[in-house]
């Protein structure tokens, strides 16, 4: 294992932050395509997953000691991969992009970041233990932050549509499943193999609904640039450099630094697309980011291995 020098640790930090920034900006690019180019969210998701999954599968096939096809030799591993592709990779991509289409990239990304709260709830039930004090605090902060984000503090009305709230919460639940379910697969196969296949399978299934062969929206230079950024920088490069950072600084620190993603999505949406982000929105975002920090820093040593499966998105995200 390479010696962790100061410069190497700094490079690990920078790789993680850069991946998070790319993920955040790609969400804003998606919002631009939905609002200004009338691209259908399902159409964009299917092409994103098919193209990015295809590129990752090429990496998986031609990498040293490739395990690209071994995953299909064991029936239970193949079943797990299919379930992860549908309810993890496919669901989190689909729900996240639809959340963006009904609100904006900033709000959708922040809502997705309450996913760790569902992870905590799952492990509390699975391990038959009550959450610890810091987890209760994180739950309160997450609920308060979400309440401020979707209502601006009013008990009588939402400031975003019910559809945006539905898809946003669904993306958080899907992210929790995405984080929890592939643990065993990732212990036996490389992340590139698991994620590449999941993207390909999820993309093919969504294609049955989205009909990717029918061109969606208006295409010009801005459309192509945004589309290319989502595929290349927001998916392939972001995923690759994030995996590289895991080997340097570990999943716990990397997951914490990924909190830069909603901030980058918010800043890009505010300054590029002129999205109105008010004081209550910033406060809600801040509370949800504190939730992520608390849950990450409070992990016990035996829980750290679980966090190795916390591999993004698109991740998105």
Tell me the C-alpha to C-alpha distance, in Å, between residue 28 and each of 37, 51, 103: 13, 19, 11
pLDDT tens column, 197-240: 999 999 999 999 888 899 889 999 999 999 999 999 988 888 77
Q: SS in 3 state form for 59-102?
A: HHHHCCCCCCCHHHCCHHHHHHHHHHHHHHHHHHHHHHHHHHHH
pLDDT surpassing 90 at residue 141: no
Q: Is it the case that residue 102 has pLDDT exceeding 90?
A: yes
* Mean of pLDDT over the chain: 83
More confident residue, 123 or 96: 96
* pLDDT at site 19: 87
Assigned token pair, 242: 């994030």
Least confident window among 22-36, 229-243, 252-266, 270-284: 252-266
**Using 50, 70 and 90 to split pLDDT, how confident is the model at 86?**
very high
Q: Is 222 exposed, middle or buried (0-12, 13-18, 19+ CB in 10 A)?
A: middle
Torsion of the alpha carbons at 287, 292, 298 and 300, rounded to the nearest 10: 160
pLDDT of residue 227: 96
Residue 315 has pLDDT above 50, yes or no: no
Q: In whole angstroms, what is the distance from residue 250 CA to residue 220 CA? A: 41
Burial of 2 by CB count in 10 Å (0-12 exposed, 13-18 middle, 19+ buried)? exposed
pLDDT computed for residue 40 by the predictor: 95
Provide the pLDDT for residue 247: 67
Contact 160, 100 (CB under 8 A): no
Asked if pLDDT for residue 130 goes beyond 80, the answer is no
**Over 90: is that where the pLDDT of 50 sits?**
yes
* Confidence class for position 252, pLDDT limits 50, 70, 90: low
Model confidence at 302: pLDDT above 60: no
What's the pLDDT at 57?
A: 92
Asked if the model's pLDDT at residue 42 lies above 90, the reply is yes
Mean pLDDT value of segment 185-192? 85
- C-alpha 216/C-alpha 250 separation (Å) is 40
pTM for this prediction? 0.84
For position 309, what pLDDT does the model report? Answer: 43
Q: Please check the confidence at residue 142 and state whether its pLDDT lies above 70.
A: yes
pLDDT at 113 over 60: yes
Exposure string for 275-310, b = 16+ CB within 10 A, e = fewer? bebeebbebbbebbbbbbebbbeebeeeeeebbbbb
């Amino acid at each position: 294992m390479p010696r962790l020098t100061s410069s190497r640790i700094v490079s690990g930090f920078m790789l993680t932050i850069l991946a998070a920034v790319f993920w955040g900006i790609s969400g804003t690019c998606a919002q631009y395509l939905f609002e200004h180019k009338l691209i259908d969210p399902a159409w964009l998701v299917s092409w994103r997953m098919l193209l990015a999954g295809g590129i990752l599968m090429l990496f998986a096939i031609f990498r040293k000691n490739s395990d690209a096809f071994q995953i299909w030799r064991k029936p239970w591993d193949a079943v797990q991969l299919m379930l992860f592709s549908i309810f993890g990779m496919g669901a989190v991509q689909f729900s996240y992009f639809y959340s963006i289409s009904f609100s904006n990239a900033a709000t959708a990304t922040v809502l997705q970041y309450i996913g760790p709260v569902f992870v905590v709830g799952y492990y509390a039930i699975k391990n038959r233990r009550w959450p610890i004090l810091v987890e209760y605090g994180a739950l309160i902060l997450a609920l308060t932050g979400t309440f401020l984000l979707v209502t601006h503090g009013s008990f009588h009305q939402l400031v975003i549509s019910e559809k945006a709230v539905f898809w946003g919460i669904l993306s958080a639940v899907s992210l929790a499943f995405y984080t929890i379910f592939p643990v065993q697969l990732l212990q036996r196969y490389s992340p590139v193999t698991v994620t590449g296949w999941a993207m390909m399978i999820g993309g093919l299934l969504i294609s049955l609904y989205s009909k990717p062969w029918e061109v969606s929206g208006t295409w010009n230079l801005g459309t192509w640039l945004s589309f290319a950024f989502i595929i290349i920088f927001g998916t392939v490069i972001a995923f690759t450099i994030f995996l590289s950072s895991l080997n340097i600084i570990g999943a716990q620190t990397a997951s914490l630094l990924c909190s830069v993603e909603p901030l980058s999505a918010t800043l890009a949406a505010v300054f590029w697309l002129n999205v109105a982000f008010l004081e209550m929105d910033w406060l809600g975002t801040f509370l949800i980011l504190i939730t992520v920090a608390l849950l990450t820093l409070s992990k016990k040593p035996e829980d750290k291995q679980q966090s190795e499966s916390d591999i993004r998105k698109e991740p998105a995200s």
